[in-house]
Structure 1
Amino acid sequence: MRSTTSGWHPSSRVSELAPGVFLAEGPASNWIVVRDGSGFMLIDSGYPADCPLVLESIRHLGLQPADARAVLITHGHVDHTGAAAHFSGTYGTPILCSPEELAHVQGKVKHQVTVGQVLVRAWRPRVFRWMVHVVKAGALTARPATRARAWDAATLRSLPGRPEAILIPGHTPGNAAILLRTAGAIAVGDSFAASHPLTPKTGPQMLHRMYHSDPDAALEATRRLDGVHASVVLPGHGPALRVPLAEALAALRRGETGFNPR
């Protein structure tokens, strides 16, 4: 497999944001490596063409991809499931997602932005550049993780970092955030982003409405994160937000555009 982006290197794109929690900022979407004394796991896995980068980021941390305990998928969009089929087919790695998202991750249903939704906006330079990257990243030929299975609380607790799932429906029906309580970090997937190629904005923001299966529900569902304590927010797109989750959510709801991830 070849990367669509030359020059990407884990030394500059992989950072430890909390003890044992590493964010890899891919060319257009992120993945996370969680490591403790019991081994390591992945949260999300980039686009299909990012698979070599995912493997490289793991080896950069002194780990072997075949040893991954699991790959947790926040939701079934192709920019988060890209390497999952490789891990499942090559290493037998368990691919886990919420029960509500299982059919999506397995490829039996689709909750994805349509070609038509993109084409009517393709005259905009940012949309056109994003569309070109998506095609090069293998989105149109992605393999689903057909052997994925639904997680449960006990299975999650047995994994590195003792992750906890929080269902945040709206972006997709089974979209979830992954809380790493001990590390004080939370992976929010696409529940909200810190930046995205379609906009110059930075900081907590909802993705464009066309990405959500239910745009209104997607914003309302972020209230399920109220009262959850984390000091580092790991989005599916954009840099980590090293601020309390409550502060990030407040900025999200105010619609601020100048919030500076630091």
Structure 2
Amino acid sequence: MSPISARPEKPFDFSSRVSEPSPGVFFVEGPASNWIIVSDDSGFILIDGGYPEDASLVLRSIWHVGFKPGDAKAVLITHGHVDHLGSAAHFSEAYGTPVLTSPAELAHVQGKEKHQVTLATCILNAWRPGVFSWLKHAISAGALSPKPVAAAEAWTPERLRELPGQPQPISVPGHTPGHAVILLPKAGAIVTGDALITGHSLSRHTGPQMLDAMYHTDADEALAATHALDNVEASLILPGHGPALKMPLSDALAALRS
């Protein structure tokens, strides 16, 4: 069983950080990255899981919305960066929860590959506004001690259709080689991970945008990959960073590219 940190926690107001922008879809705006709880009559799933040191917050957010963490049907991972994968190992080891990701991202999630911004790159960029404070938080949140999930599996469309919300993955490589967004068709929502965000400590504005280029494996590919979403119908955007946004996805993409 992976341990949950006993470090003193900063105050976290669940009443303001946890929202239900669509029935059965709970958006949790974490200290630096977000996670989503999706439920229906068959149970619930978790999408992404914060930094390693966010694990206790993830568990408490699940209790907050009325579920037991050990009852999760699966944990879906949009991509294997440490700020999205953080609590997944706990679910796998403590409860035997299936941890699922795209076939192209599987080696990253299992810890066999690494596609993370390097500490050296961060130090070289530390003079830029926001980078030092972001780096300080990332280190305190466990960025230097990632927790890969050796038992992670590649999802299949058939397996995903059996899960709460019937999630549908869409490949958008570039941020990482196997990054995927997850459409929740019944909710009219899309979980965009880091393919499209609405805010970040390095950004001076909120609204649809790309992450800073230093975080992408290939920034040009990441932007080009958003065209895979051009014909996707969704009116609720649930990003990996920044607030949830009720806006047609087509309008958000137009704003991102402007």
TM-score (ref. length: structure 1): 0.95
Partner of 2:175: 171
Q: How does 1:1-262 map to 2 (within 5 A)?
A: 1-2=5-6, 6-254=10-258
Q: Alignment partner of 1:22: what SS?
A: strand
Does structure 2 conserve the Cα–Cα contact (< 8 Å) formed by 1:88 and 1:147? yes
Quick one: structure 1 residues 217 and 125, their matched pair in 2 at CA, closer, same or farther if it must change by over 3 Å?
Answer: closer
Shift in Å, 1:19: 1.5
Does structure 2 conserve the Cα–Cα contact (< 8 Å) formed by 1:167 and 1:175? yes
Percent identity between the aligned chains?
61
- CA deviation digits over 1:33-87, x for unaligned, max 9? 0010000000000000000100010000110000000000000000000000000
Tell me the distance in 1 between the aligned counterparts of 2:205 and 2:192. 18
Tell me the distance in 2 between the aligned counterparts of 1:4 and 1:214. 37
* Structure 1 unmatched ranges of 5 or more: 255-262
Count matched residues.
254
Shift in Å, 1:9: 2.4
Give structure 1 regions of 4+ aligned residues with deviation exceeding 6 angstroms: none
Shift in Å, 1:2: 4.2
Tell me the distance in 2 between the aligned counterparts of 1:214 and 1:193. 16
2:59 alignment partner AA: L
* Structure 2 unmatched ranges of 5 or more: none
1:229 alignment partner AA: E
- CA deviation digits over 1:203-256, x for unaligned, max 9? 1111111111111000000000011001100000000111111110010011xx
1:207 alignment partner AA: L
Shift in Å, 1:173: 0.7
Quick one: structure 1 residues 212 and 184, their matched pair in 2 at CA, closer, same or farther if it must change by over 3 Å?
Answer: same
Shift in Å, 1:116: 1.3
Shift in Å, 1:22: 0.7
Q: Alignment partner of 1:187: what SS?
A: strand
